[in-house]
Every structure is written in structure tokens, then in C-alpha cells.
Structure 1
Amino acid sequence: MKKLLLISFTIIVSSCSSVKKTEKALNTGNYDQAINIALNKLKTNKNKKGKQPYITMLEQAYAKVIDRDHNAITYLEKEGNPANLERIYNSYLTLRDRQERIKPLLPLYLIEEGRNADFYMRNYDQKIISTKDKLSEYLYSNAKNLLATAKRKTEYRAVYEDLIYLDKVTPNYKNTVEMIKEAHKKGTDFVRVTMRNNTNVVIPRRLESDLLNFGTYGLNNLWTVYHSRPQRAIKYDYAMEVDLREINISPEQIKERQLQKEKLVKDGWEYLLDENDEIVVDDKGEKVKVDKMVTVHCEYYEFTQFKAVNVIGNVLYKNLRTNQLLDAFPIASEHVFQHIYANYNGDKRALDDSLLGYLGARAVQFPSNEQMVYDSGEDIKNKLKNIITNYRFK
């Protein structure tokens, strides 16, 4: 019973809180917020007496908000500024969408007043179409003029955004798609990428190919395109140079360590003897058995094959228009080859579990210098990707 009362009290408090929130939104001019709360509450059991306050406030908020929107549209239309067309168009869409959300709930009956709540409904389709046509023409003419007079890439990017919005309002309007492509191309920074090997080590061709294959980097930058194979039709704005200065490869090494291990282990069982060397029996007359413990010894021989490569370089960004160095970032990568194998002499039960895994292994062939350099490529690639992703041309 107490639990039921608590649930009922919680529901009442929650309901009162929602009514107060709706009332506050209505009184402070946040009409759409009040409408949203009321609509959410009226989705279920709209005819319950407890839902009456929401119907009243929904009616009031809706009347006030459409009056406000109509007055704003009238003012903007009288002003006659084509720059207002977007606001007018969006206002008509809001008016239409708002009433479409209310329609499914109608009729909403006010019990005390003995009437259905009044919601002024209007067909805004013609207004929306008319305003959209004017807005599309304005956006198109404006973008066309800006596209013809733009000088800087930032200006082309602004035109691109306007054209994208136009294509959203009116898809395929005139030659908007072609203009979008033009604005995007002229607003894009094209970067020519080269690699220089200033080391005494030959870089594997497949490594160079992997590092310069930007299609595998997962880059998604709308305004920056990297080309490792320059195209004649493109005038490049910047150059990125991957300058490898040092490649240090260690000699092949085999390190050995020897361990002497001793451990007390269980080795079967034996009968428990007393001080007279006689077998001990329990209360049931059974002979008592105990674990037989012995000390075992083992010589453990472990071998570690080791080889490492260290690559050091810089990533340089240059402005091809001014031929100035913009930025330089150091890159360094190390790749280690390590293989462990072992054997033993004696009783391997004396060995720790951490050592047993190496007993089945055997020596392997060391990777070539070329393979070591290539294997370092994944780490270099990740560092290059990090530089490219975070770099912004000024």
C-alpha cells in the first residue's frame, strides 16, 4: 500500500512540475517550448481530466506564436529586402510544420468551457512555394555574382556553402550543381607530396608507395587534397615533403641467459611414518597417505634474437605561391624484431610457468634490412596521418 501511495505521489508531483514548466514557458514567451511540452503530454489519454491544463495552454501558446510569426513575416515582407527571404521562407515552414504536429490530436475538448479548443489552421503551401522561388532566384543570382568576383579560397568556400543551401532548398536549380563543383575546386587547397631519401639506406619501393598512397589514410577533408602524383591540370598551392634523414639499423644480436632453477615438487605419495618409522593409521584403521615431495633441479638456457631499425626525418610544408617554408614537423619511428626461444637440461618441473612457453620455440631467420625498414612503415604512416589530419593551412 505504501509503495502504491509513493508511486501515485510521484506521478502527481511530476504532473504538477510539467504543468508549471509549460506555464513558465508560456508566460516568458517561449511558446514553442510550451507547445512541445503540451503535445508530449497529450500524446496519450488526451481526454483525461488531468490533461485539461495542457489543452488550455496549448491553445494559448499556439495563438500567440502564430500571431507573432505572422507579424514578423508582414514586417519582413514590407521591408522589401531580398536578404529577408530566407527568414520568411523558414517562418512559413515553421508555421506549417507546427500545425501539422497538432492536427493528429484534434479535436481537443475543454470540459469546463464545453467546447473544442480553437486552433487557427491555414494552408501555407502557396506561400511556401512562392517564397521558395524568390529565395532560390536570389540565392542563385547572389552566388553567381560572388563566384565571378571571388579572389580568395575563403570566398569560394562561402559561395560553396550558399550553393549547397540552395541545392537543399531547390534541388538541381538551373546549373547549381556545376557551380557547386566550380566553387569547390577553386576553394580547395591542392598539396603536392614528395618524398626525399637523404639516408644511406635504400627505401623499399613498396614502402614509398604505401606512405604516399593517401587513399588508405582515411582522410576526409573537404578543402584539402593531397596528390603524390601531380596532375598537369592542377595548379598546386602547397607542397608537403617527407624528408627522411637517418635510417639506423642495428646488427643482428643473439643474447643468452642461463638460469639454475630448483623447486620442491610433488612426486607421488607415500605412507606417513611416525617417529618409530611405523605407518600411521587413522581412527578408521586406514593407513594415512601423504604427498611425496622431492627437490628437482633444472638448467634453463634462453636465447633472444634482436634487431632494430630507427627512422628519423621531417615533414615540411611549403607555400608554392611564395616559396616560403610554412612549418616543419619531426617524425621518428622505431621498429624492433625480437624472438625468444629456449631449451633446458634437467627436470623442467623446476621451471616457472613464465619460462615454459619458450621451450617449444626454435631459432628463426633474421629479417633483412629492407624488411625491417618496410616494417617500420606502419608507424611512420600513422604519424604522417596525425600530422596531415591536424594541420590547417592559414
Structure 2
Amino acid sequence: MKRTLLLFLITALTFSCGGKKKTFTALNTGNYDQAINTSVNKLRTNKNKKGKQDYILILEEAFLKAVDRDMNAIAFLEKEGNPANLERIYNSYNTLKNRQERIRPLLPLYHVEQGRNANFSFDNYDQRILDTKEKLSAYLYNNAKNLLSNAKRKTDYRSVYNDLVYLEKISPNYKNTNNLIEEAHFKGTDFVKVSLKNNTNVIIPRRLEDDLLNFSTYGLNDLWTVYHNEPQRSVNYDYLMEVSFREINISPEQIRERQLEKEKLVKDGWEYLLDEDDEFVRDEEGNKIKIDKMVTVRCEYYEFIQFKEAQVVGNVQYKNLNTKQLLDAFPLSSTYVFEHIYANYNGDKRALDDDLIRYLGLQAVQFPTNEQMVYDSGENIKNKLKGIISRYRF
């Protein structure tokens, strides 16, 4: 017991010292916020505990240095006068405020050895945050409007969109930001026209075609790509995705048969155990001993397998409608197998294994039509098509 307790104390001390060492290292290498975060987490509980006294001094020093570093950086950025720096300035002021708010609930922090409370010089950054946010919002708005007027590539519109979304986040409902977001998103979106071609001699079921082209069921979530299987007049399409079926092969309806003869030794009641003289064998209490009566049973098993197979082969092509060039092509294939097994027997079915007995009593069923076979293969095709769409990037 004493040995276990000693090992526990040594382990706890090792981890404690290791944590302090890492925090000191973070402080001494300029990772002030890492040192602050670790110290705050340690001091949330039992902050007056002797083993946590060092974290008070680390937090005090790290906070002082972090504030000094951030204020110097802000002063330099403001002196530079570049409006592109406004976001960094705004974020820095928020960091200064949030850092204070993390420490404030812990106060006061009393250091026993030095006989004093830790000193944290807090400031009110609210007005500076508001002033900077107003300047940043105006800059983002004017810059976005200018870029929207002059952008030529979709990547430019997407960049504007990101700036406007950020503007809406920091200044909700700023002027007509929401309208500009919609405009930037529309102009930055790749619109893809989808067509389905059947180059086979087999009719594709209408419901399968509808399922394949119903992109709302694919669960796709791509901000910058929209697929339309019914082209809209108001949209200039950038790309064409063509789903083409080249082969649809359907096998004949088949019934395969097999016959098995099974033999097995099974229990069939009981009988009294006899010795060599045909006398009853008794136990220690004089009772006749019973044993299982084993018999050999035989059975003829007749199995029928209904089988039909459909194979659909095609591909998916992406084309650039502006350059008329083929961008990429992917194979698309699916095989669907219909199989139904039923069986009967002649003899004692106890001779049959369980995997055979399960087919007894089943009857033949109607084969699915060719149209149903093609449709049933569609779920696999749809999953493969979804995989192609999800992975492809223009």
C-alpha cells in the first residue's frame, strides 16, 4: 500500500513539473497566449493551492508581455495607414479584450511567498473596437463594390463573397450587404448543365432517369457548384455533365438445379443400455441406465435457383461549354443480380443441414421484368454518380 502511494505521488509530481516546464518554455519563447491559456486552465480550480503558485507569476508576466506585443503591433499598423490592415487591428483589439475577460473571473490571485496580489493592468477597448469596426466595415463594403464591378473571373467573385460574409458577421445588415452577397455568390458559381444519353437498344425506365437527375436527393453541399438537369434561360452554363449509357445487357431467365443425397446419424428417442449378455446395465443405485437411440437417416434434396442478371455500362463526361473542350471522363457501371432459391426433398429431412432446410417450403416466384432489372441497378449507379460529383472540382 505504501509502495503504491509513493509511486502515485512520484507520477503526479512528474506530470506537475512537466506541465510547468512546458508553460515556462512557452513564456520564454514568446508563446504568451499558450502560457496564458495553460495558466488560466490550471488556476480555475484550487487557485490558492501551493503547487499552483508558479502559474500565478507565469500568468502575470505572460499577460504583461502579450499586451505590450499586441499594442506595439497595433501602433505600427495604424502608423502605416493602410486600410488593408484594419482587419488585423480589429482582431488584435478583440484579442486584447477577450484575454482580459478570461483572466478577470480568477481575480484576485494571491501569491503567498511574495505576499501580494498579482497585478493585471486591464483597459477598456470597447470604443477602439467599435471605431475600428466602423472603418473596417466601410473599407470592406467599398472594396467589395469596386471588385464586383471589375471582377472578371469566378475566383474574384468568390473572394468578394468571403469578404462580404465576414462583413455581415461583424456588422449585420450593413447597408445592402446581403444583396451584394447574393450577387457575388451567383457570379462566382459554376453552373453545370446535366444531360442523360441512352446509346443502347434498351429503354431506360423513366423513373430511373428521374432518380438519376434528381440532384436534390444526392445530399450534395457545394457552395460554388450548381447542377441543373432542366436548363434555365436566365443562366449561362459553364459546363456540361453528360451521363451516357453505352451497354445494357440482361441475361435470360435461368433456373439452375442441383440434387444432393444426405445421410446423417441422429438421435431417435432412447433405450436401455445392455451388456454383452443382453442384461440391463444399472447404476450404483440399481436404476437401469438410459442411452440415446441413434439411427441413420437419409434424404434426397432438390434445389432450384432462379437467376437473372442486368449489367449497365456507361460513362460520365465533363465538358467546358466556353472552350468546347472535354475536361474529364469517368467510367460508370453497375451489375444487379436477381437470385431466388427454393427446394423440396424426399426422405427424412433430419439428414439435411440447417443451411439447406431454410429453403424448404419456399416456392418459385415471378422473374422481374427487364425494366425492373435496369431500375434496380440504378441505386448502385446513383451512388457511383454521387461519388464522381462529390470528388470532382472544376
Tell me which interval the TM-score lies in, with the shorter structure as reference length. over 0.9
Matched residue, 2:207: 206
Moved more, 213-222 or 288-297: 288-297
Paired with 1:178 and 1:355, the residues of 2 have a C-alpha distance of 68
Paired with 1:16 and 1:261, the residues of 2 have a C-alpha distance of 74
Matched residue, 2:305: 304
1:278–1:7 distance in 2 versus 1, CA, 3 Å: closer
Computed over aligned residues only, the root mean square deviation of the Cα atoms, in angstroms, reads: 1.3
Matched residue, 1:264: 265
- Map 1:10-49 to 2 at 5 A: 10-49=11-50
How does the TM-score come out when normalised to structure 1? Answer: 0.97
Moved more, 152-161 or 3-12: 3-12
Matched residue, 2:238: 237
* Ranges in structure 1 where 5+ consecutive residues have no aligned partner: none
How does the TM-score come out when normalised to structure 2? Answer: 0.97
Equivalenced residues, count: 393
Paired with 1:278 and 1:115, the residues of 2 have a C-alpha distance of 104
Structure 1 residues 190-216: Cα deviation after superposition (integer angstroms, max 9, x where no partner): 111111111111111111001100000
Q: Which amino acid aligns with 1:338?
A: E
Matched residue, 2:334: 333
Matched residue, 1:149: 150
- Map 1:186-201 to 2 at 5 A: 186-201=187-202
SS in 2 for 1:258: strand
Paired with 2:205 and 2:265, the residues of 1 have a C-alpha distance of 54
Paired with 1:334 and 1:295, the residues of 2 have a C-alpha distance of 45
SS in 2 for 1:297: strand
Moved more, 374-383 or 23-32: 23-32
Give structure 1 regions of 4+ aligned residues with deviation exceeding 6 angstroms.
Answer: none
Matched residue, 1:103: 104
Matched residue, 1:118: 119
Q: Which amino acid aligns with 1:253?
A: Q
1:268–1:143 distance in 2 versus 1, CA, 3 Å: same
Structure 1 residues 337-357: Cα deviation after superposition (integer angstroms, max 9, x where no partner): 000000001100111111000
Moved more, 60-69 or 279-288: 279-288
Matched residue, 2:371: 370
SS in 1 for 2:285: coil
SS in 2 for 1:137: helix
Identity rate, percent: 72
Paired with 2:60 and 2:152, the residues of 1 have a C-alpha distance of 53
Cα distance, 1:113 vs structure 2: 3.0
Cα distance, 1:41 vs structure 2: 1.4
Matched residue, 2:390: 389
Paired with 2:51 and 2:349, the residues of 1 have a C-alpha distance of 81
